[in-house]
Amino acid sequence: MTSVVETAVEAPVVELDRVSHRFGARGGKGGTTAVADLDLAVRRGEFTTLLGPSGCGKTTTLRMIAGFLQPTSGRILLEGADATRTPPEKRNIGMVFQSYALFPHMTLRDNVGYGLRTRKVASAEVKRRAGEALELVGLAHLADRKPAELSGGQQQRVALARAVAIRPSVLLLDEPLSNLDAQLRVQMRRELLRVQRETGLTAVLVTHDQDEALELSDTMVILNNGHLEQQGAPRDVFPRPANRFVAEFLGYDNFPEVPGHGPVTVRPEHVRLLSGGAREDTGETGLDGTVGEVTFQGSNCLVEAVIDGAEGPGAVLRALHPADDLRPGDPVRIALPHRHLVELPAHGAPAHEATAHEVAG
Amino acid sequence: MPSPSPTAEAARVASRRRLLPRPPVTVLLVPGLAVMLFAFCYPVVTTLAWPPDGDPATVARETGSLLTDPYLLPVIARTVRVSVLTTALCLAMGFPVAYLISRAPGAWPGRLLALAIFPLLLNTVVRTYGWIVVLGGNGLISKVSEALGLGRVQLLYTETAIVLGLVQLFLPLMILSTYSSLSQQDHRLEDAARGLGASPGRAFRDVVFPLALPGVLVGCTLVFAGAVTAFTTPQLLGGPRERLLSTLLYSRVNVSLDWPSASAIALVMTVLVLVASALSNRLGKIGSTTS
Q: Which three-class secondary structure string do you get for A208-258? A: CCHHHHHHHCCEEEEEECCEEEEEECHHHHCCCCCCHHHHHHCCCCECCCC
For residue A67, the chain B residues in CB contact (below 8 A) are 194-195
User: Per residue in A307-330, is it b (16+ CB within 10 Å) or e — as a string?
Assistant: beeeeeeeebbbbbbeeeebeeeb
User: Per residue in B215-246, is it b (16+ CB within 10 Å) or e — as a string?
Assistant: bbbbbbbbbbbbbbbbebbbbbbbeeebbbbb
Split at pLDDT 50, 70, 90, the class of B183 is: very high
Residue A293, C-beta contacts closer than 8 angstroms, at least 6 positions apart: A303, A304, A328
Whole-angstrom distance, CA of residue B200 vs CA of residue B193:
9
Whole-angstrom distance, CA of residue A17 vs CA of residue A174:
21
**Structure confidence at residue B7 (pLDDT):** 65
The nearest alpha carbon in chain A to B212 belongs to A105
Name which of A68, A105, A118 is nearest B196 (Cβ-Cβ).
A118
Whole-angstrom distance, CA of residue A285 vs CA of residue A247:
20
For residue B198, the chain A residues in CB contact (below 8 A) are 89, 114, 118
pTM, full prediction? 0.81
AA letter at A130: A
Long-range contacts of A300-303 (CB under 8 A, 24+ apart): A301/A326, A302/A268, A303/A273
Name which of A67, A90, A95 is nearest B192 (Cβ-Cβ).
A95
CA distance B194 to chain A (A): 5
Whether B196 and A66 lie within 8 Å, measured CB to CB = no
Share of chain B above pLDDT 70, in %: 91
Q: Please answer whether residues A210 and A251 qualify as being in contact, where contact means their C-beta atoms are separated by less than 8 angstroms.
A: yes
Whole-angstrom distance, CA of residue A139 vs CA of residue A124:
19
CA distance A18 to chain B (A): 24
How many C-alpha atoms does B92 have within 13 Å on its Cβ side? 7
Compute the radius of gyration of chain B from its Cα atoms: 26
**Structure confidence at residue A352 (pLDDT):** 45
C-alpha of A104 from chain center: 30
pLDDT tens, position by position, B107-164: 999 999 999 989 888 888 888 888 888 888 788 888 888 888 888 888 889 999 999 9
For residue A66, the chain B residues in CB contact (below 8 A) are 191, 195
Residues 185-214 of A with CB under 8 A from B: none
**Structure confidence at residue B13 (pLDDT):** 62
CA distances, B204 to each of A303, B35, B87 (Å):
58, 43, 21
Is residue B289 pLDDT above 70, yes or no?
A: no
CA distance A216 to chain B (A): 23
Whether A114 and B206 lie within 8 Å, measured CB to CB = yes
AA letter at A351: A
State ipTM: 0.82
The nearest alpha carbon in chain B to A109 belongs to B291
Beta-ladder partners of A264: A343
Is residue B6 pLDDT above 80, yes or no?
A: no
Whole-angstrom distance, CA of residue B112 vs CA of residue B5:
60
CA distance B110 to chain A (A): 20
Whether B188 and A114 lie within 8 Å, measured CB to CB = no
Whole-angstrom distance, CA of residue B115 vs CA of residue B177:
15
Share of chain B above pLDDT 90, in %: 51
CA distance A119 to chain B (A): 7
Q: Quick one: which of A237, A176, A241 has its CA closest to A203?
A: A176
Q: Quick one: which of A217, A249, A212, A252 has its CA closest to A233?
A: A217
Chain A and chain B share a number of CB contacts under 8 A equal to: 68
Whether B191 and A66 lie within 8 Å, measured CB to CB = yes
Whether A103 and B207 lie within 8 Å, measured CB to CB = yes
Whole-angstrom distance, CA of residue A189 vs CA of residue A209:
11
Q: Please answer whether residues B95 and B101 qualify as being in contact, where contact means their C-beta atoms are separated by less than 8 angstroms.
A: no
Check if B185 contacts A (Cβ < 8 Å).
no
pLDDT tens, position by position, B219-271: 999 999 999 999 999 999 988 888 899 999 998 888 888 888 888 899 999 99
The nearest alpha carbon in chain A to B202 belongs to A118
Name which of B186, B188, B199 is nearest A89 (Cβ-Cβ).
B199
Whole-angstrom distance, CA of residue B152 vs CA of residue B156:
12
Average pLDDT, chain B: 88
Helix (H) or strand (E) holding A186: helix A182-199
Q: Which residue has the higher pLDDT, B4 or B223?
A: B223
CA distances, B147 to each of B5, B138, B139, B144 (Å):
94, 12, 12, 5
For residue A88, the chain B residues in CB contact (below 8 A) are 191, 194-195
For residue B192, the chain A residues in CB contact (below 8 A) are 95, 97, 101-103, 162
Whether B195 and A93 lie within 8 Å, measured CB to CB = yes
**Structure confidence at residue A92 (pLDDT):** 95
Interface test with A, best of B189, B196, B289 (most A CBs within 10 A): B196
Check if B288 contacts A (Cβ < 8 Å).
yes
Sign of the Cα pseudo-torsion (A137, A141, A143, A146, in order):
negative
For residue B288, the chain A residues in CB contact (below 8 A) are 105
Residues 89-148 of A with CB under 8 A from B: 89-95, 97, 99, 101-106, 110, 114-115, 118-119
Alpha helices in chain B (DSSP H): 6-19, 30-36, 42-49, 56-66, 73-103, 108-117, 124-135, 140-147, 159-184, 188-195, 200-203, 209-229, 232-238, 245-254, 259-289
Q: Quick one: which of B157, B283, B163 has its CA closest to B223?
A: B163
CA distance B288 to chain A (A): 7
Q: What share of chain A is helix, strand, coil (3-state, %, to 5)?
A: 35, 30, 40
**Structure confidence at residue B242 (pLDDT):** 86
Name which of A68, A99, A114 is nearest B196 (Cβ-Cβ).
A114
Residue A292, classed as helix, strand or coil, is strand
The nearest alpha carbon in chain A to B291 belongs to A106
**Structure confidence at residue B3 (pLDDT):** 53
Whether A88 and B202 lie within 8 Å, measured CB to CB = no
**Structure confidence at residue B16 (pLDDT):** 60
Q: What is the mean pLDDT of each run of 10 residues along chain A (361 residues)?
A: 52 94 70 90 95 93 96 95 95 95 96 96 95 94 95 94 96 92 90 93 95 94 94 95 93 86 91 88 90 93 91 87 92 93 73 39 30
**Structure confidence at residue B204 (pLDDT):** 95
DSSP letter, residue A19: E
Whether B191 and A95 lie within 8 Å, measured CB to CB = yes
Q: Quick one: which of A75, A121, A146, A117 has its CA closest to B199?
A: A117
Q: Quick one: which of A67, A103, A96 has its CA closest to A176?
A: A96
Residues 205-244 of B with CB under 8 A from A: 206-207, 210-211
CA distances, B222 to each of B1, B86, B126, B230, B241 (Å):
66, 11, 22, 12, 26
Whole-angstrom distance, CA of residue B31 vs CA of residue A36:
63
Q: Please answer whether residues A68 and A59 qualify as being in contact, where contact means their C-beta atoms are separated by less than 8 angstroms.
A: no
Least confident of B18-22, B112-116, B191-195, B203-207: B18-22
CA distance B273 to chain A (A): 29
Name which of A68, A105, A166 is nearest B196 (Cβ-Cβ).
A166
For residue A87, the chain B residues in CB contact (below 8 A) are 194
Name which of A89, A97, A101 is nearest B198 (Cβ-Cβ).
A89
